[in-house]
Chains A and B, each alone.
Chain A
Amino acid sequence: MGLNLVALGTSRLPSLIRVAALQGMVLGIMPLVIEHELRLMVLVIAAATVAMKGLVIPALLRRAMRTANIDRDLYPLIGFLPSLLLGAAGMIGAVVLARRLPLLPEHRESLLVAGALASVLTGLLLLIGRSKAISQVCGYLILENGIYLFGLLLIHSTPLLVEGGILLDLTVAVFVTGIIVDRIQRAFDSLDTRKLTVLRE
């Protein structure tokens, strides 16, 4: 949870990526925590998640950042303080909402839902509030993390294929994003999407 606030608060790109990575790791561990008896499949999933969310993608992003040697400051469209407050508000809202929602007994006390909603909100907030392409990718990552977190609710019931597919798609998505970022950098000599306003009404 706290990671979200950090993500909102941080003013530098590397730390933002680090946050995302860390969150990915945590998510990877999650299933193991939730699962009481360890099944091979779960292990595989967890490992894959950790690898993907925690290692590959952050590495990718760092590469993109390095290749497009850009200064590491984020130019927020929504200032840090307001976004922090908004994030906090969102988090509270998420908790309240999670309380209001009818949950299965075994999920009652766990903060899974709240956390998921919170990081979804954070992700959206980052997407709206940050102008750097990479920061937006991070926001997107955090969004996906939140969703994945929510997906864990269903890890018993839903066949894991869904999860696998999600993981796959996510990675592919970000991978492609990375490429695009790369290309944009080549095309625009910057990763600031504020400059991406040729196409307009």
Chain B
Amino acid sequence: MKELLLIVVPLVAAAGAALWPHDRTRPWFLPAAGLAHSLLAFWLLFHPPAVPFHPWLGYDPLARAMLPAVSLLFLGCAAYGVPYLRLRAERPNRVFVAGLLAALGLMSAAHMARHLGLLWIATEAVTLSSVPLLHFNNTPRAFEATWKYLLVGGTGIALSLLGSFCLGYASLHGGGAGDLTFAALMAQGTGLSRPWVLIAWVLLLVGYGTKMGLAPMHTWKPDAYGEAPGIVGAMLAGGVTTVAFTAVLRVRAVVEAAGAGGVASRTLLVIGLFSTLVAALFLLSARDFKRMLAYSSVEHMGILSFGAALGGVGLWAAFFHVWNNSMTKGALFLSAGNLRRAAGGRTIDEVSGMSVITPRSAALFVAGLFAVTACPPFGPFFSELLIVKSAFATGHGWGAAFFLVCLLLAFFGLTRVVFAIVYGRPRTAARKMDPRFRETLAVIVPPVVLLLLSLGLGLATPDVLREAWTAAVRQLSPTP
């Protein structure tokens, strides 16, 4: 029953926020709900329910391996949100707060959905609920971004619906009773009609891949991340993408059960490496440091797919990387938000010398950069190294080499941009910086905490998490 609370609490909070009269105090809903959600999520992490409380919905190992990360990230963003929204007092935040909370609730639902249709509905709902978040800034650019997000994402989601139907039809054709819970589908296994399963896999991979932001379906990402506030960017990069990744994993498990695991892994591998390459190429000549983060997120989605495609240890490492990615991206987006506020510019042509203007955020941003480029001792280093290792262990030597080259190119691009905006002499653009922006503790602590979390995850991974990931791997590939 507690599982349901994970969904209900945020939604109730969202309703409350929507009804709350005062703009000034409304933001406090965010940390409150976030805290409650995290407490629940972690309580469940430590005391996982023996059986999912409903065949359609449940806190199963997969959800257990992922959801706490999202919840933690949300908490960080929520804590940051309060001072941020105070800073943006000129914008009404009713819809924003409500939408953010709703998104959290729906993300939990999507993570816990064990039914094909329910999963799809939840994902679609997340997409819709994040629309108001995107055009919070209410600028033409924001609208354009939102429009693209909606249409590209919508098309993707439509394809994934078609894919769900195909999968359903596969089970129907295989003589299934039309029960679309993943458990049932996996149980049906090779009974599913193969061609339909393959079609379903293609459609679902592309559909959910669009939400994940795998190349070449990533086109909405830079626009959305570039225009959205830092918090939203962080939630999209660390939360929504995770939802889509969960979906892909669940589907892949079914496909594998249907005996097409090899094909699925190969497609996942190729698309993952392709995304990493494309992201790296974009990063090489990126100029806008928020769009840069978007491409870095594309890159990391590629890394996740690569890891997942390797299966076994690679999949385990992918779960590990989901956590690291959420924490690191959170820290990066929040500190980037600070820089954006302070600099009054977004590209390396307008911004430089931030280490003079906002030393703390700049230092934080650089630290985050090294974290996200897999420099020890931050978490991503360990997960990516583990992925490389398992790639070599499973005989994907060339894949690993290609992967490393892409990482290198991405590193070039990222360092180029970040050092350009952090070092050097402040530009005139920085003179007319937002006068209300000060590097208060409130805007520094949340990213710091997230970064420290990523650090801790790497140096001393909690046993409960390791156990949770192992359980999730076992759930997805029960055979070995």
Contacts and interface: CB of A to CB of B under 8 A. Distances in A.
Q: Are A and B subunits of one complex?
A: yes
Interface in A140-157: 140, 143-144, 146-147, 150-151, 153-154, 156-157
B360 interface: no
Interface string B96-119: 000000000000000000000110
Contacts of B223: 199
Nearest to A150: B165
A35 interface: no
Interface string B128-149: 1001000100001101111110
How many interface residues does chain B have, given as a range?
35 or more
A82 B178 CA distance: 40
A102 B196 contact: yes
B169 A144 contact: no
Contact of B158 (A102, A133, A144, A198): A144
A42 interface: no
The prevalent SS among residues of A at the interface is helix
A140 B151 CA distance: 8
Contacts of B135: 183
Contacts of A127: 151, 155
Given A120-B162, A150-B162, A140 B155 contact: yes
How many interface residues does chain A have, given as a range?
35 or more
B295 to A, nearest CB: 10
A127 B147 CA distance: 13
Contacts of B178: 154, 156-158
A104 B195 contact: no
B117 A180 contact: no
A188 B158 contact: no
Contacts of A48: none
A41 interface: no
A184 interface: yes
A180 B121 contact: no
A162 B167 CA distance: 14
Interface of B: 117-118, 120-121, 124-125, 128, 131, 135, 140-141, 143-148, 150-151, 154-155, 158, 161-162, 165-166, 168-169, 172-173, 176-178, 180, 193, 195-196, 199, 222-223, 226-227, 282
